[in-house]
Amino acid sequence: MSVSPVDLLNAFNQHFGQFLPDVAKSAHEDVQQQAKAALSSIISKLDLVTREEFDVQLEVLRRTREKLDSLEKRVVELEAALQAKSEQGEQA
C-alpha cells in the first residue's frame, strides 16, 4: 500500500501537533505551512503528469494499438492474396 507524500505530511503534522504546548501552536502552523509549500515545490519540479493527462494518453495508446492490429491483419491478408496470385501465375 502506497501512502501519498501529502497524507504522510498530514499524519506527521497531526501527531507532532499533539506534543506542542499551546504557545507553540502558531509556530507549528507556520512550520506546517512551510513544509506543505516545500513539498508542493518539490512535487511540482518532478516530471509528473496528472491522472487526466495519463488517461488521455492511455486512450490514444489504445486506439493506436487497435489501428496497428488492424493494419497487421490487413498486411497478412494482402500477403496471402499476393502469394495465391503468384502461385496461380506459376501454374499457368
CA distance 37 to 14: 17
- The yes-or-no verdict on residue 37 having pLDDT over 70 is yes
Residue type (1 letter), 75: V
pLDDT of residue 13: 73
The pLDDT, as a whole number, for residue 21 is 64
Mean of pLDDT values over 22-50: 81
Lowest mean pLDDT among 16-20, 59-63, 75-79: 16-20
Alpha-carbon distance 77 to 72, whole Å?
9
pLDDT confidence tier of residue 56, bands split at 50, 70 and 90: very high
Q: Answer whether residue 3 shows pLDDT above 70.
A: no
55-83 burial code (b ≥16 CB/10 A, e <16): eeeeeeeeeeeeeeeeeeeeeeeeeeeee
Per-residue pLDDT, 65: 98
